[in-house]
Amino acid sequence: LPSRNSVYDQRSVKASKVYEYIQGFKEQSEVGTPMPTAPEMNAGIWSNGATMLSQILSGDATAEVAAKEAQERAEESIKELRKK
């Protein structure tokens, strides 16, 4: 995806096969809010969220149990990260 909006106006980009597909990304970049890049997001949220979804989809845990455990793991991961 282009890192600058002006790239979307270039002839070569407009003529590309993927131009119609990247328009949705452009539209969202104009109205969206970037996600935080804080280390806590990776250590606490994304990794534990992925584990939670895997547990639910595989049937290893109910949504309620998996979410509670993910929350606990996220809080512990963030706590450990902040000790460093």
Is the Cα torsion angle 50, 56, 59, 65 positive or negative in sign?
Answer: positive
- Phi–psi pair at 73, nearest 5 degrees: -65, -40
pLDDT at position 35 is: 80
Is residue 43 within 8 A of residue 78, CB to CB? The reply is yes
Residues 18 and 47 in one domain: no
Same domain, 52 and 20: no
Domain hosting 20: range is 1-34
Q: Do the Cβ atoms of 10 and 22 come closer than 8 Å?
A: no
Q: Residue 57 burial (CB < 10 Å; 0-12/13-18/19+)?
A: exposed
Per-residue pLDDT tens, the chain, 84 aa: give them.
667 888 888 999 999 999 988 888 888 888 888 888 899 998 889 999 999 999 999 999 999 999 999 999 999 999 999 987
Q: Tell me, yes or no, whether 68 and 46 share the same domain.
A: yes
Kindly tell me the burial class for residue 5, based on how many C-beta atoms sit within 10 Å of its own C-beta (0-12, 13-18, 19 or more).
exposed
pLDDT of 26? 86
